[in-house]
A and B are shown apart, each in its own frame.
Chain A
Amino acid sequence: DGGITQSPKYLFRKEGQNVTLSCEQNLNHDAMYWYRQDPGQGLRLIYYSQIVNDFQKGDIAEGYSVSREKKESFPLTVTSAQKNPTAFYLCASSRPTGGKETQYFGPGTRLLVL
């Protein structure tokens, strides 16, 4: 079955620590996205990538970094510069079709600060 996997399901971060969230898709989609979800705020875009080796900042990129070395993978690193990292993180992917793309989501990773 095709889909998007995210790991781990729960992640704990100590102060000053960088942590990496994994996102893998086997849908053969070119575009991938990372969103942050906080209660009552909907989804906010952190980073997106339209093709391998290219990515762009979204609306709330500060304190985060990404890489896109393979089409299937788009890992997100939450750095120590992100002062309020506790949130639910969602990865999505889509096949570019001129704005009509449907984004498909992974199951999410919940990040908690110790």
Chain B
Amino acid sequence: AQSVTQLDSQVPVFEEAPVELRCNYSSSVSVYLFWYVQYPNQGLQLLLKYLSGSTLVKGINGFEAEFNKSQTSFHLRKPSVHISDTAEYFCAVSGRSGGYQKVTFGIGTKLQVIP
């Protein structure tokens, strides 16, 4: 079984300040991790993913995430946020289950950037 916990449902942050959105996972098989962003009334857009290799993953819009196996975490960070980063962010874990790709999503974290 696999699961994802996003510890914060909402994160307010001032413009140009750094931000960290927390994600913890559990999985009994090989771990593949993703962060998606969703703007209001839109679909999910891939920000970044960890499949293997370097534990520090860089994505679009200046975001990065670090895979920490010992702490089972995959926190998302950005050193300086912009108003346009206001959106909901979803962490997801993927693995094969019953012969198909099973993706489990967290409940999402709403990032509110304050001018």
Q: Which residues of A contact B (CB under 8 A)?
A: 4, 6, 31, 40-43, 45, 48, 50, 56, 88, 90, 92, 94, 96, 98-108, 110
Contact = CB atoms under 8 A, between A and B. Distances in A.
A48 B96 CA distance: 13
Given A42-B90, A43-B105, A99 B95 contact: yes
Interface of B: 9, 29-30, 32, 34, 36, 41-46, 49, 51, 90, 94-96, 100-101, 103, 105-108
A99 B96 CA distance: 5
B34 A107 contact: no
A56 B100 contact: yes
Contacts of A100: 32, 51, 94
Contacts of A108: 41-43
A31 B90 CA distance: 21
Given A107-B42, A108-B42, A102 B49 contact: yes
A102 B51 CA distance: 10
A5 B46 CA distance: 16
A104 B41 CA distance: 16
B105 A96 contact: no
A40 B94 CA distance: 20
A98 B49 CA distance: 15
Max count, chain A CB within 10 A of own CB: residue among B30, B42, B43, B108: B43
A8 to B, nearest CB: 13
B46 to A, nearest CB: 6
A105 B44 CA distance: 6
B101 A101 contact: yes
B46 A102 contact: yes
Contact of B46 (A45, A96, A104): A104
B44 A90 contact: yes
Contacts of B44: 43, 90, 92, 105
Contact of B107 (A31, A40, A106): A40
Contact of A110 (B41, B46, B103, B108): B41
Contacts of B95: 99
B42 A42 contact: no
